[in-house]
Amino acid sequence: MTRRPVTFEYYLYQEALPVQQDTPFWGKRLPGTRRQAADPGATENTPSGLTVGEYFQAARRFFTHDGLSLLLQEVSRETGRNPPPNAVHTVRIGLKKHGAFYHPAKVSLLGDAFSRRFVLNVAFSDAGKRVLRREVRSLKHLRHRYPFSFVPRIYGTKTVPTAKGPVAMFLGEWFEGYHEFHLIPDSPGHPVTVCVWEGDRGDTVLDAVKTAALFRRVAHILAAYYDPVTFEAITHWHHASGDFVVKIDKGNVHVRLVTVRRYGPLFKSDLKERTPEPSAQNILHALLFFFLEVSCRIRLDREHGTGNWIWAGKGCLHPMTRGFFQALAEKGPVPALPAPLDDCFKAYLLSMTFKDVSDLLVELVTRRFPAGREAAFVLKHVPEHAQQLLEALADPL
């Protein structure tokens, strides 16, 4: 059978904005971050000077030299169905946004009786390439180790040459129907206001019930991937980067985590022990540290994703705590503990005083948040946060 030529199409942000070599955008430099994207004049200082056109040409190379055939083979192993050799006649690549490390694209493979979508994460800075290599390892590890599908599957990695240096990429699962969300300033009667970016459909502000479900599921995902014995956890996630996404389907709230920049032990040495199993005290203290970090990060965002720092109201803390404990209750027995993990941890938490929690929060922010305005913003909220967190824990879970 003669192989049909594959057509490549490109667009910026929305499919209604196609880009070709003869359009003005083709030669423009990529913004280095999403904040630079909001200020076009700032793109002159991006690390590589890669243009939009060079980005699309690099992305296209991911699917050449049998890359498309290999991808279809991977899809067939996953689905148990074999697409024909000519299944795909169009590859549509859309540059969706700009991050500190990646410039992700939505890739649609289209055919007469075939349609699949993927995300292509593209890194051209040295820092982005390091993060990408680490993330590929983390995602593969999590998909292999845990029976969850909260993080994307990986379909392939590649480094392609460009005139301005090599560009690293990995192709991952696209969570269809999921959208980025961000905190916006509180409105009267709404202690936490979450706005979901639904693309062409516009923005949707979640009601109180769906907002609570969203925060509960975010905490549940993070705690589900936490290992209470090795202290391995997903860290360095951020609402401002759009790391979690949400889908509302028939009133139900579904959440996924689209990136795992780091998965590893919370501590390098202070709580590591020479014995094969850590002590009960260290297990509970490490879990407390992780719980407090989740409680801070889940409240932190930038207005509309790129604006000023914003801190969610205390209404998010009770659903966050419920989701966290639900995941702990689903874990198996921990040999060093005399009772189920969730029961032991709740007793441990309730033994903490306001000063205990406040002091540990200050240590946490100093060690785990970037120094500067972000850390200062979180530290400003520590006293109130400690009190509100203890109040949330006092309520039935």
pLDDT tens per residue across span 182-222: 998 876 666 678 999 887 777 899 999 999 999 999 999 99
CATH code of 75's domain: 3.30.200.20
Q: Which of 38-47, 82-91, 119-128, 380-389 has the highest mean pLDDT?
A: 380-389
Indicate if 139 and 125 belong to the same structural domain.
yes
Q: In this structure, are residues 368 and 235 in contact, taking their beta carbons and an 8 Å threshold?
A: yes
CA distance 344 to 340: 6
Indicate if 287 and 364 belong to the same structural domain.
yes
What is the pLDDT confidence band of residue 304, given thresholds at 50, 70 and 90? Answer: confident
Phi, psi of 330 (to 5 degrees): -85, -10
Q: State yes or no: pLDDT of 130 exceeds 90.
A: yes
CA distance 220 to 113: 37
pLDDT tens per residue across span 98-121: 888 889 999 999 888 778 899 999
- Runs of H (alpha helix) within the chain: 34-37, 52-61, 67-79, 126-145, 208-224, 280-297, 317-329, 341-350, 354-368, 373-394
Q: Among 149, 173, 197, where does a domain finish?
A: 173
Task: Quote the pLDDT of residue 199.
Answer: 73
Indicate if 378 and 346 belong to the same structural domain.
yes
Q: State yes or no: pLDDT of 245 exceeds 80.
A: yes
- Closest Cα partner for 301 from 181, 207, 387, 212? 181
How many structural domains is the chain composed of?
2
CA distance 135 to 142: 10
Indicate if 208 and 332 belong to the same structural domain.
yes
Q: In this structure, are residues 56 and 122 in contact, taking their beta carbons and an 8 Å threshold?
A: no
Indicate if 80 and 208 belong to the same structural domain.
no
Indicate if 28 and 145 belong to the same structural domain.
yes
CA distance 286 to 307: 33
pLDDT tens per residue across span 60-95: 999 887 678 778 777 777 766 766 667 788 899 999
CA distance 110 to 83: 12
